Structure 1
């Protein structure tokens, strides 16, 4: 993809996300790095331009074709902006001259918000890492080699991993989930996205997860499900399954250097209609489900599912303006409408040793969703894990229950929120 007039097709996930974008479901997720000193906007702009030399396929804008959207190279340059109040909102990537991402600064923080039509968390972290590296080179003089991307790298980093590993002989999984429990929440006003972040010592989590002989991801997924079951018991007379959407980074199972979307979702669940579950039972159920689904053979079924949905003759022949009208409803019903909530783990963030002393924390926020009004995403940097909830409603019932459950297990949590109007009350409630 060389030159400003180059273009490339969206990957399978990107095609879906480009069609469901709305003022509430913006498809934007946020990755941020908080440094030890205030950000200089002019240096950040220069760092962004250097980063785009390394990743030229990010210097694109979304264009509408007759059947599908696509990305087209541009000679325009994105501009860094001072951060606004609510994250992951108010970016129309379909607007002429817009980019499918933006770079914010605020005090010591560099924030990158990307549309899922372009990339996933792994690709986004790689872009953010390069941006911070270039910035620290300019401001602090850390030594780096300015890397030029070869044609082979460019092809590898823009490949469609779904197509590469698609095997038409493998059957798609049977994934009909039925009616799952939904949190009884009302949407807040448009443009409002409430974030609550819990900061937890990684070693304390490791130690507690080890007591149950599971990974941190399984441990936290079980707490998440337990919290939702508790809320259902309290708020709903009719019991339904609690189903969690857990994205899986496919690069961990299939070799790929792609910077585009390359993930599938598994759906661990507990059927509350079968009776009350103790925490140990929930952990064992989740452990079994992860073990059963997280194998290359099983995951290839999910790749098949992703590709065949795009290959549907009706969908392929439907003009893109019509897709824009019907896709949100289809996604709400067959996609996130089947889940209770979502929990994503971007894993451990590591940076070169010469950068570590300049970076205090790295965290992420999930994309807002009408189908799942509350979702959570987590990442680890140095000795802390950052678990961030994104919420389109005013109610914090899930956040309160989740962090209360962690505290009851003897793990210390520090809570932060962007809800300045209710900050004191929220933090007080979550501490009790």
Structure 2
């Protein structure tokens, strides 16, 4: 009997809304200090994938819900051949929902979001690269904090749907009152693809700037992003719609969980549009909202709101096609139209010292969507912080303003790297 898994609560969203302009596939990458050797990377993958069976799966259709089942064909490492975060095939059983890619000195994992979130994907990438370095004969003996074979998969804890485990009957948040956010417009790339721009700077320097203002690093970057969107989009925001930055929150930091599946909530940080927006005032508002919306009580009510429909009798008995229609409607009207863009911060990534010595920088790439054609992701390792914008439109004014403001406010040098997709058009 092949192994199979129910989709977790958050994972049920992504198959329903996925398509060319919403791939629901994100990327995490380590840039090493030497070129990748594909045969060794394949051996590393073969040895660690059994420790992460939730990633070696294909999608199946049930009567009431989609599900994941064990995939028989092995995962293969591949050279990068298209743009980052390209869609996966949900209909082809031979296609994988996970891609292991290499390019020069970069090792990347691209994962369909129904399987896990950035927290789960990060554990897999760390394990894969650790094993790769071991097979190269590098001195990476320190294994503290790593998930490594031959330890077996802890199915009860690591495959847990932690949304259900921590669900309470607290009154859900009222989402109906959220005004429609200012949305970014632009010209789609032809052929369609994702342009990715990375800005790299010293994490300690940026932390010092945020600390001087009495705010978190995420709040600092969010405020700069709001100012950048305002400067680039103000002439188009004739209705003075609020600029809303959508922000995933890792719930493992608040609710005890060892799950390697999705366990996150999304909060929206909204700033009213005004003709003259002051950075200091925006920063205060962002910090205040983040503080209010990352409390355990607020996030518990967020979970209650997102799960209340799934727990109804009508939802349980509704056929899959009807559920998918309802999910797509909710995603468009309560998700996409309520935000301007997403900023996700994976935070400071910790790996053993011996492993860290082989890593230059880390990148996180968040896929854009049809109504959110530009998204932003942040991570840091070895005091190198990377801010990554992924877009499916030609216009880059917001990104230009963001890095100009970032450099201006902090005085830090920012190194810019791009994949140049669509730049020859």
TM-score higher than 0.5: yes
Equivalent residue in structure 1 for 2:150, among 148, 151, 157: 148
Instruction: Provide the residue aligned with 1:430 in structure 2.
Output: none
1:107 aligns with 2:104: yes
Alpha-carbon distance in 2 for matches of 1:159, 1:333: 29
Instruction: Provide the residue aligned with 1:47 in structure 2.
Output: 44
Equivalent residue in structure 2 for 1:23, among 8, 13, 20: 20
Alpha-carbon distance in 2 for matches of 1:126, 1:228: 33
Matches within 5 A, 1:15-414: 15-142=12-139, 147-150=149-152, 153-168=154-169, 170-176=170-176, 177-189=178-190, 191-272=192-273, 276-325=276-325, 327-409=327-409, 410-414=411-415
Alpha-carbon distance in 2 for matches of 1:298, 1:421: 41
Alpha-carbon distance in 2 for matches of 1:369, 1:182: 12
CA shift digits 1:174-213 (9 cap, x unpaired): 2331211111213223541010111111122112112211
Q: CA deviation at 1:298?
A: 1.2
Q: CA deviation at 1:108?
A: 1.0
The Cα RMSD (Å) is 1.9
Q: Secondary structure at the match of 1:272?
A: coil
Q: Secondary structure at the match of 2:136?
A: helix
Q: Is the 8 A contact 2:58 2:97 kept in 1?
A: yes
Q: CA deviation at 1:80?
A: 1.0
Alpha-carbon distance in 1 for matches of 2:248, 2:138: 37
Q: Secondary structure at the match of 1:268?
A: strand
Instruction: Provide the residue aligned with 1:429 in structure 2.
Output: none
Alpha-carbon distance in 2 for matches of 1:15, 1:376: 23
CA shift digits 1:97-127 (9 cap, x unpaired): 2222110111111110001100000100000
Alpha-carbon distance in 1 for matches of 2:336, 2:50: 36
Report the TM-score when normalising by structure 1.
0.92
Alpha-carbon distance in 2 for matches of 1:149, 1:300: 33
Q: Is the 8 A contact 1:346 1:379 kept in 2?
A: yes
Alpha-carbon distance in 1 for matches of 2:326, 2:307: 19
Q: CA deviation at 1:96?
A: 1.4
Alpha-carbon distance in 2 for matches of 1:404, 1:364: 21
Alpha-carbon distance in 2 for matches of 1:330, 1:403: 33
CA shift digits 1:221-266 (9 cap, x unpaired): 1111111122232333221111110110001101111110100011
Instruction: Provide the residue aligned with 1:12 in structure 2.
Output: 9
Alpha-carbon distance in 2 for matches of 1:303, 1:327: 16
Instruction: Provide the residue aligned with 2:420 in structure 1.
Output: 419
Q: Secondary structure at the match of 2:175?
A: coil
Q: Secondary structure at the match of 2:208?
A: helix
Q: Is the 8 A contact 2:158 2:258 kept in 1?
A: yes
Q: CA deviation at 1:421?
A: 5.9
Alpha-carbon distance in 1 for matches of 2:19, 2:54: 24
Which has the higher mean CA deviation after the structures are superposed, 60-69 or 140-149?
140-149
* Equivalent pairs, count: 418
Q: CA deviation at 1:402?
A: 0.7
CA, structure 1 residues 334+315, in 2 after alignment: closer, same or farther (shift >3 Å)?
farther
Alpha-carbon distance in 1 for matches of 2:247, 2:202: 22
Q: Secondary structure at the match of 2:309?
A: helix
Q: Is the 8 A contact 2:25 2:87 kept in 1?
A: no
Alpha-carbon distance in 2 for matches of 1:216, 1:300: 24
Report the TM-score when normalising by structure 2.
0.93
Q: Secondary structure at the match of 2:331?
A: helix
Greater helix content: 1
Q: Is the 8 A contact 1:161 1:256 kept in 2?
A: yes
Q: Could you list the structure 1 runs, at least 4 aligned residues long, displaced by more than 6 angstroms after superposition.
A: none
Alpha-carbon distance in 2 for matches of 1:130, 1:114: 15
Q: Is the 8 A contact 1:28 1:368 kept in 2?
A: no
Q: Secondary structure at the match of 1:311?
A: coil
Q: CA deviation at 1:143?
A: 5.2
Q: Secondary structure at the match of 1:38?
A: coil
Q: Secondary structure at the match of 1:140?
A: coil
Q: Is the 8 A contact 1:362 1:379 kept in 2?
A: yes
Q: CA deviation at 1:16?
A: 0.6
